[in-house]
Structure 1
Amino acid sequence: MPYIEDSARWARAYYDFAVDGGAQGTIALRGDKIPQGAIITEALLHVDTVPTSGGAATIGIGSEGATDLQSAAAISGAPWSSAGAKRLTMTATSAPIKTTAARSISAVVGTADLTGGKFSVLVRYLELAS
């Protein structure tokens, strides 16, 4: 029977327009991967520099699915429109997500390209021992 090994762990991933660009589509963020079989329990965001765009860009954040950690949201609104720490739409009260393979954390840029911005994503997960 599986049991929880150790305690919760955190994966950290980073986006910086100067390094990662901002074209529409999926951008694999730099940083940790979430291991196969992990159970994701919540996700946090720290906006260092508010994302900018020449249009009405949206950003979603995902791991197992394209936007399972943060639904696509306009950069003109929450959680993107101000600097600081935020909760993403995947919270401790959301249904947990189990990874089927080792996963990177990704940003999904939609509607328009980004022209600036810098943020970090923190994902809390548990690993089951076999």
Structure 2
Amino acid sequence: MPIIENTGRVLGGLGLGRIKPVTAVYDFAVDGGAVGDIVLRGDSVPAGAMVVDALLHVDTALASATGTAALRVETAGDLQPATAATAAPWTSTGPKRAGLTATSPPVKTTARRPVVLTIGTAALTAGRVTVVVWIVEL
């Protein structure tokens, strides 16, 4: 069977137009838990990318007396709206869906953006979460 040139390649084979993962990690032991924004360690979302899904893997449940946690790449809570650290999706370990799902309207970045955890109300005292954001680069 002959090889057909450019088969399976999108936009000249640059990888544009394909779904790709962006992975970032929050770890209380490394990043702390003070109220405010924490830029997560890992990949950033490229400028002009569309975020089409967001998944979480809670390795250690978040803990806080009254704190909230939200995730964003472009605007406040666009990946996960502010939710009590003592509520889903933060309270039990394992894989979870964030608030932005494959059936939500996508988020488009206007510049290169890191994944940011916003802690509100009170500090976190524990937690480790891996965030996987699925993007399409245009």
The two structures have a TM-score, normalised by structure 2, of 0.87
For structure 1, the residue ranges without an aligned partner over 5 or more in a row are none
1:51 aligns with 2:62: yes
For structure 2, the residue ranges without an aligned partner over 5 or more in a row are 1-10
1:104 aligns with 2:107: no
Match of 2:83 in 1: 73
Question: The residue matched to 1:31 in structure 2 has which SS?
Answer: strand
Match of 1:16 in 2: 27
How many residue pairs get matched? Answer: 126
Match of 1:95 in 2: 105
Whole-angstrom CA distance in 1 between matches of 2:37 and 2:80? 13
| Structure 1 residues 3-58: Cα deviation after superposition (integer angstroms, max 9, x where no partner) | 682520010000100100000011000000000000110100000000112x2111
Whole-angstrom CA distance in 2 between matches of 1:52 and 1:96? 30
Which structure: larger Rg?
2
Whole-angstrom CA distance in 1 between matches of 2:28 and 2:43? 18
The match for 2:124 among 111, 114, 121 is: 114
Q: In structure 1, what residue type is equivalent to 2:89?
A: P
The two structures have a TM-score, normalised by structure 1, of 0.93
Match of 1:26 in 2: 37
Identity, % of aligned positions: 50
8 A contact 1:59–1:75 mirrored in 2: yes
Instruction: Give the CA deviation at 1:66.
Output: 2.2
RMSD of equivalent CA atoms? 1.4
Whole-angstrom CA distance in 2 between matches of 1:58 and 1:127? 31
